[in-house]
Amino acid sequence: MDQLSFAEAEYENKRRKTRRELFLEEMDALLPWQKLESKIKRHYSNSKTGRPPYPLSVMLRVHCLQLFYNLSDPMMEDSLYEIESMRRFAKLRLSERIPDQTTILNFRHLLESHGFGQKLMLEINKHLTSKGCSLREGRIVDATLISAPSSTKNKENQRDPEMHQTKKGNQWYFGMKLHIGVDADTGLVHSAVGTSANEHDITKAADLLHGREKRVHGDAGYAGIHKREEHKERDVECHISARPGKRKHGRRQ
């Protein structure tokens, strides 16, 4: 067995587990890693993700860490160097090679080019259903921005055509947007759709519903959802937050 590094030795002697550690332990036990890897394996063997390439299990876990914590490629690389719990989740050691941001980017592009995002999500949902984690009647829909440096360009000196800028509050962002559908009772993510940052939240709401929910909850970005053509046949209660300008402010008692 290799000698422990100072970081690993200090980690072993910790007295309590952090919330991040508990969450990652839960994800490690919950996700069907072998089934997910089997979906990707045939395509990964021919991919250019490093010389020699990192094990598929490592790169898939690194990709999941990016999704869990909404990290850019450079931030993911830094986190693998700085945070021992993330390295352990990814089955990496500080004394070994750590994937750099280009390797992380190439793996993400591999998943995107073959449409693996939706395939992996379906596999995870199937696995959770088999474990008794069934979907209930309520659904929460929301969207989050995934920002990227606006100055970053590719080899053709162009920005990613799938990314655009959008304004939130008084600040401008450049990047993409992740639309998410979550079961209201269990908190399980049922669906996720990625778009450019300037795509309005409400336009992807139909893709986040499974069709059996009785209630839909959302913030003000989903105001008027019940009036849209794709939702007219749905028999659901829409609980949508009012826009800030329309809220009535009562006096404090």
Global pTM reads 0.61
**Residue range 135-246 in CATH 2.60.98:** no
**Using alpha carbons only, what angle is made at residue 129 by residues 125 and 134, rounded to the nearest 5 degrees?**
105
DSSP code of 73? H
Strands in the chain per DSSP E: 138-147, 164-168, 171-183, 189-196, 215-218, 237-240
Q: Domain extents for the chain?
A: 6-121, 135-246
pLDDT, position 1: 45
Give the three-state DSSP class for 32: coil
Between helix 101-113 and helix 33-44 the angle, nearest 10°, is: 90
For 221, counting Cβ atoms within 10 Å of its Cβ (0-12 exposed, 13-18 middle, 19+ buried), the class is middle
Tell me the one-letter amino acid at 127: H
Give the Cα separation of 10 and 166 in Å (integer). 43
- Spell out the long-range contacts of 110-115 with Cβ–Cβ below 8 A and sequence spacing 24 or more: 110/40, 110/43, 110/44, 110/47, 110/49, 111/40, 111/63, 114/40, 114/43
CB within 8 A of 35, min separation 6: which ones? 123, 127
pLDDT of residue 165: 86
Q: Which residues contact 133 (CB under 8 A, 6 or more apart)?
A: 186, 188
Q: Residue 14: its pLDDT value, please?
A: 67
Closest CA to 175 of 193, 154, 149, 155: 149
Q: Which pLDDT belongs to residue 92?
A: 94
Please tell me the predicted confidence (pLDDT) of residue 134.
55
What pLDDT was estimated at residue 65? Answer: 93
Rounded Cα gap, residues 213 and 238, in angstroms: 11
Which residues 6+ apart lie within 8 Å of 100 measured at CB?
A: 77
84 Cβ neighbours under 8 A, 6+ residues apart:
7, 8, 11, 94
Look-up: residue for tokens 């920005």? 159
Q: What is the pLDDT along the chain (253 residues), one digit of tens a residue?
A: 466 566 666 666 667 888 999 999 988 988 899 999 998 998 886 545 446 789 999 999 999 999 888 888 999 999 999 999 999 999 998 888 899 999 999 998 898 888 888 788 778 877 777 766 655 667 788 888 877 776 666 667 777 777 888 888 788 888 888 888 888 776 777 788 888 889 999 999 888 887 778 889 999 889 988 888 888 888 888 889 887 766 665 444 3
